[in-house]
Amino acid sequence: MTTTAETAELIGAGVDRVDGPAKVTGAARYPADFGFVNLAHAVLVQSTVAAGRIRRLATSRAEASPGVLTVITHRNAPRLARAPGGLGIGPPPPLQDDRIVHHGQHIAVVVAETLEQAAAAARLVEADYQAAEPLLDVGDPRAERVDNASGRDVSRGDVAAGMAAAEVIVDATYTTPVQTNNPLGLFASTAYWDGDLLTVHDSTQGPMFVRAALAAAFGIPETAVRVLAPFVGGAFGAGLRTWPHVVLAAVAARMVDRPVKLVLSRAQMFTSVGYRPPTVQHLRIGARRTGELVVIDHEGIEPTALQDEYAESLTRATSVLYDCPHLSGRTRQVRLNVACPTWMRGPGESPGVYALECALDELAWELGMDPVELRLRNYAEVHPQTGLPWASKALRACYEQGAERFGWAERTPEPRSMRHGRLLVGYGMATAYYGYVQVPCQARASLGQDGVALVRSAATDVGPGTYTVMTQVAADTLGLPLDRVRFELGDSTMPPAPLQGGSGLTAALGSAVHEACRQLLQAFVQLAAGDAESPLHGYLVQDVTTADGHIIPVHAAGPGETYTAILARHGLAELTADGASARRRDLDAEPGIFAAKFAEVQVDPDLGLVRVTRLVAAVDGGRILNEKTAASQIIGGSAGGIGMALLEETMSDPGTGRIANATLGDYLVAVNADVPDIDVIFVGEPDPMNPIGVKGIGEVAIVGVAPAIANAVFHATGRRIRSLPIAPEQLL
Site residues, ligand MOS (CB under 6 A): 205, 236-237, 240, 343-345, 347, 501-502, 699
| Minimum CB distance to ligand MOS, residue 342 (Å) | 8
Residue 648: exposure state from Cβ atoms within 10 A (0-12, 13-18, ≥19)? buried
**Contact status, residue 701 vs residue 638, Cβ threshold 8 Å:** yes
Q: Tell me how far, at minimum, the Cβ of 206 lies from ligand MOS, in Å.
A: 10
Q: What is the CA radius of gyration of the chain?
A: 27
Residue whose CB is nearest to ligand MOS in the complex, by number? 237
Please report how close the Cβ of residue 200 comes to ligand MOS at its closest, in angstroms: 20
How far apart CA 40 and CA 252 sit, in angstroms, is 9
Give me the least distance between CB of 236 and ligand MOS, in Å please.
6
Closest to ligand MOS by CB, 211 or 345: 345
By C-beta, is 30 or 563 nearer to ligand MOS?
30
Q: Rounded to an integer, what distance in angstroms lies between the CA atom of residue 248 and that of residue 91?
A: 13
374 close to 291: Cβ distance less than 8 angstroms: yes
What is the spatial distance between Cα 107 and Cα 660, in angstroms, rounded to a whole number?
20
> If you count them, how many residues does the chain have?
732
Q: How far is the CB of 310 from ligand MOS (least distance, A)?
A: 12
592 three-class SS:
coil
What is the nearest approach in angstroms of ligand MOS to the Cβ of residue 539? 43
Q: Is the CB of 499 or the CB of 625 nearer to ligand MOS? A: 499
Let me know if 681 is exposed, middle or buried by CB neighbors in 10 A (0-12, 13-18, 19+).
Answer: buried
Closer residue to ligand MOS, CB minimum distance, 252 or 311: 311
Cis amide prior to 535 (ω within 30 degrees)? no
- 370 CA to centre of own chain: 33
Three-state SS at 514: helix
Q: How far is the CB of 183 from ligand MOS (least distance, A)?
A: 10
Rounded CA separation 713/610 (Å): 8
Residue type (1 letter), 425: V
Rounded Cα–Cα distance for residues 630 and 624 (Å): 7
Among residues 344 and 517, whose Cβ is nearest to ligand MOS? 344
Q: How many helices (H) and strands (E) does the chain have?
A: 17, 29
3-state secondary structure 185-251: CCCEEEEEEECCEEEEEECCCCHHHHHHHHHHHHCCCHHHEEEECCCCCCCCCHHHCCCHHHHHHHH
Closest distance of CB 636 from ligand MOS, Å: 12
Q: What is the arrangement of strands in the sheet containing 197-202, beginning at the earlier edge strand?
A: 68-72, 106-112, 40-46, 260-263, 188-194, 197-202, 225-228
Q: How far is the CB of 267 from ligand MOS (least distance, A)?
A: 22
Q: Which of 6, 381, 699, 729 does the annotation list as catalytic?
A: 699
Q: Which is nearer to ligand MOS, 240 or 359 (CB)?
A: 240
| Interhelix angle 627-646/349-367, nearest 10 degrees | 70
Q: Which is nearer to ligand MOS, 354 or 598 (CB)?
A: 354
Query: Is 447:519 a contact under the CB 8 Å cutoff?
Result: no
- Of 50 and 509, which CB lies nearer to ligand MOS in the complex structure? 509
What is the SS3 assignment for 663? coil
Instruction: State the Cα–Cα distance between residues 54 and 589, nearest whole angstrom.
Output: 54
> Which of 501, 579 has the CB closer to ligand MOS?
501
Residues 694 and 506: beta-carbon distance below 8 Å: yes
State in angstroms the smallest separation of the CB of 276 from ligand MOS: 9
Q: Are 690 and 438 in contact (CB under 8 A)?
A: yes
706: how many CB neighbours lie within 10 A of its CB?
Answer: 32
CB 270 within 8 A of CB 662: yes
Shortest distance, position 239 Cβ to ligand MOS, whole Å: 7
Q: Which amino acid is at 349?
A: E
Write the single-letter amino acid at 661: N
Q: Which is nearer to ligand MOS, 501 or 707 (CB)?
A: 501
Closer residue to ligand MOS, CB minimum distance, 181 or 472: 181
Whole-angstrom Cα distance, residue 461 to residue 453? 19
Nearest of 625, 616, 591, 621 to residue 685 by alpha carbon: 621
Active-site residue, 699 included: yes
Q: In terms of CB distance, is 344 or 603 closer to ligand MOS? A: 344
C-alpha span between 417 and 434 (Å, rounded): 34
CB 536 within 8 A of CB 544: yes
State residue 298 phi and psi, 5-degree precision.
-135, 115
Return the ∠ at Cα 229 (arms to 226 and 230), rounded to 5°: 120
**Measured between alpha carbons, how far is 669 from 338 in angstroms, rounded to an integer?**
22
CA dist., res. 434 & res. 731, Å (int): 31
Least separation in angstroms between CB 344 and ligand MOS: 6
Q: How many Å apart are CA 239 and CA 611, to the nearest integer? A: 32
Q: Cβ of residue 461: shortest distance to ligand MOS, in angstroms?
A: 12
Active site residues: 699
